[in-house]
A and B are shown apart, each in its own frame.
Chain A
Amino acid sequence: MSAAAAPPPLAEVERLVKRFELTRGIVLRRRVGEVAAVDDVTLAVREGESLGIVGETGSGKSTLARILLNLLEPTSGVVRWRGEDVTRARGAELLRLRRARQLVFQDPAGSLNPRKTVGAAIADPFAIHGLLPERTARGRRVGELLEQVGLDPALANRYPHELSGGMRQRVGIARAIALGPELLVADEPVSALDVSIQAQILTLLRELRRELGLTLVLIAHDLAVVRHMCERVAVMREGRLVEVAPVQELFTAPREDYTRELLAAVPRIPGPAPQAPQSSSSSST
């Protein structure tokens, strides 16, 4: 709990604002107002932690994540990476940042090129960054990555449409970890999947985090998922940060009414949970 031992933030945003214009009309398009998707948010991601960002539709959680990854430029405010201002990073610097920070999407079908084999999709990042130029080495690495996410390396020759949703999400994850990133941002990674497959993917993400020492930012609307995966949770509403707290504290003693309201709305499953209480080597405090 003491601030002295806290590791320096890996990524951070300060006084971040992102406004989008509201327009009306198709032919005679005119500006009718503005909406602040992210409204004065300051938040730090500590190295090695898993931070959950929860909120309902329109809370700004996905916009925040995209700005954090330089996929979207803020209206104002600062984005830092290891203490360095990278808000307007370009060129080689941006490429270096991309390698260190990767995104896992909600819809793996929509984020994979349907005309590329799974192997080619996973090898893409190597080509972009000019790594592993030799074909056999690249192929071997792709096979390793597929195994690492629990898939048969032979799937490298298949196309995305030949895979199930859960398998495609595994491919998305393999691609995201291909370059050995330090930060993985997962935006609703399981909300499109069936219950039994969700559990597989969440378990995989937890294992990978431990194996690779990844820092994870998990964006989700499902509070139980965030509680399961994260050590710290940020609650957002209408572009603003409502509350940030360690997971235990947030779920047992939330400070804000809105957090309480969100928690109360989660449907409870009665009866015992057939789940092993074993903790994941508890890197949390």
Chain B
Amino acid sequence: MSAVLRVEDLRVAFDTREGLVQAVDGVSFAVAPGRTLGIVGESGCGKTVAATTAMGLSRGPRVRVSGRVELNGEELLGASPERLRALRGERIAMVFQDPLSALHPLLRVGDQIGEAMRAHRGRRGGISRAAARARAVELLDQVAIPDARRRADAYPHELSGGMRQRAMIAMAIANEPRVLIADEPTTALDVTVQRQILALLRRLRDDLGMAMVLITHDLGVVAETADEVAVMYAGRIVEQAPAAELFAAPRHPYTWGLLGSMPRLDAPVGAALTPIPGRPPSLIHPPSGCRFHPRCPYVQERHRTDDPPLEPVAGAPGHRVACLLPEAERRELWARLAAGATPQQARAAAGSAGGERSA
């Protein structure tokens, strides 16, 4: 399956008063039609910037962008603003975390969706106001808003959070885009509503054959929605794998840390979390060597100077990891952690089992 969206060696830096913020630092990924890539990470890891840059939204005199973003083979980073505007919405669309700030407060929901269509089909040769309105009702129906005809006349503030998110999704899919980028689409919603919205996104992805990029901090949301997962840390992808593989056999200490940090319903009652010490680094002065090394329980001297590339994991197709620890040692560490060892115990055990490996 060939990718509809392909991002290669994307770098995005912002010139700020405090210094140059390298928000995205050499990120590559590709998504095929009907597939979902989940991008997971904490705030400031660059996940949203990577996505908005792919949409052509990060532009300006203080933004430095390099690399390639291809939509259906067409390069976007160098595209003219007119071309970008044409592609946005029609070929690639985005759903945001907070629909209340993304929707116009003074326009009826149906009119906003109609506007999204008319903007692309052209006011001249395109679609009439009445046809746009009929299509808006159809779209609201498609995103399972009950009583769509009446709701099309509502203003955003008259809808609940879940309904607003549905309305925004309706607007995003109005022109049947090839790629849908959803940035924390359910973070502000209640858990029962979140479940409905995720199911809706999955259904639309399948019905319309869209490629989807789902950006989230929530590993559970990713597990239920994504086919493939990229874990980002400090502007880089540190691990990438098919979703099932990532959760069954994660290979990066940061991924272990995230998994150890999340309370979950299948853990024994009373189990202790294993928090990652410290906090995400500054992107103005990122740590030398491996960027995770100041927080990594398995750090070794050379990790402070050597910068690990994202490399394939032997014997695991599609699994890549950026870590300087030898693969055998990482396998050993994960086996111990998965059995309930603390990082300190796992490290001691793996060290004595592996002995002194010469580099």
Contacts and interface: CB of A to CB of B under 8 A. Distances in A.
Interface of A: 56-57, 164, 166, 194-200, 202-203, 206, 221-225, 227-229, 247-248, 251, 261-280, 282, 284
A262 B192 contact: yes
B178 to A, nearest CB: 27
Interface string B137-177: 00000000000000000000000010000000000000000
Given A194-B43, A267-B220, 19 more contacts: A194-B217, A195-B261, A196-B276, A199-B273, A200-B276, A221-B190, A224-B265, A228-B273, A229-B263, A266-B265, A267-B195, A269-B247, A270-B248, A271-B248, A272-B339, A274-B274, A275-B271, A276-B341, A279-B272
A114 to B, nearest CB: 19
What 4 A-B pairs come out closest when comparing CB atoms? Answer: A267-B220, A271-B247, A199-B261, A279-B270
Interface in B324-359: 334, 337-342
Most buried by B among A164, A227, A266, A269: A269
A276 B340 contact: yes
Most buried by A among B192, B194, B262: B262
Contact of B263 (A56, A202, A265, A284): A202
Interface stretch (B11-19, B85-93, B121-129, B251-259): B251-259
Interface residues of B, number: 53
A274 B268 contact: no
B261 A196 contact: yes
Contact of A221 (B191, B218, B267, B273): B191
A273 B267 contact: yes
B220 A268 contact: yes
Nearest to A270: B247
Nearest to A252: B269
A264 B198 CA distance: 14
Given A194-B43, A275-B273, A227 B263 contact: yes
A197 B265 contact: no
B192 A224 contact: no
23 contacts: A194-B279, A195-B42, A195-B261, A196-B275, A199-B276, A200-B277, A203-B275, A222-B263, A223-B265, A224-B265, A265-B194, A267-B224, A269-B223, A269-B266, A270-B244, A271-B338, A273-B338, A274-B260, A275-B267, A275-B272, A277-B272, A278-B271, A279-B272
Contacts, number: 160
Given A195-B217, A199-B261, A224-B262, A276 B338 contact: no
A41 B14 CA distance: 52
Contacts of B65: none
Interface of B: 42-43, 161, 190-195, 198, 217-221, 223-224, 244, 247-250, 256-277, 279-280, 334, 337-342
Contacts of A164: 279
B254 to A, nearest CB: 9
Contacts of B264: 224, 268-269, 273
B275 to A, nearest CB: 4
Nearest to A202: B273
Contacts of B340: 275-277
Contacts of B268: 277, 279
Contacts of B221: 267
Most buried by B among A164, A264, A274, A278: A274
Contacts of B267: 228, 273, 275, 277
Contacts of A273: 259-260, 264, 266-267, 271, 338
A199 B220 contact: no
Contact of A198 (B161, B194, B247, B261): B261
A266 B191 contact: yes
B43 A277 contact: no
Given A57-B161, A225-B263, A261 B273 contact: no
A222 B262 CA distance: 11
Nearest to A197: B279
A197 B273 CA distance: 11
B316 to A, nearest CB: 14
Given A56-B190, A57-B161, A272-B338, A203 B247 contact: no
A148 to B, nearest CB: 17
B223 A270 contact: yes
B239 to A, nearest CB: 14
A198 B219 CA distance: 14
Contacts of A200: 275-277
Contacts of A269: 219-220, 223, 247, 259, 262, 264, 266
A270 B223 CA distance: 7
Most buried by B among A263, A267, A268: A267
Nearest to B261: A199
Contacts of B341: 276
Contact of A56 (B192, B198, B223): B192
B212 to A, nearest CB: 16
Nearest to A166: B279
A263 B195 CA distance: 11
Contacts of B198: 267
Contacts of B269: 227, 247-248, 251, 284
Contact of B270 (A223, A225, A282): A282
A266 B224 CA distance: 10
B132 to A, nearest CB: 32
Contacts of B219: 195, 269
Nearest to A196: B276
Contacts of A166: 279
Contacts of A266: 191, 220, 265
Contact of B218 (A227, A267, A280): A267
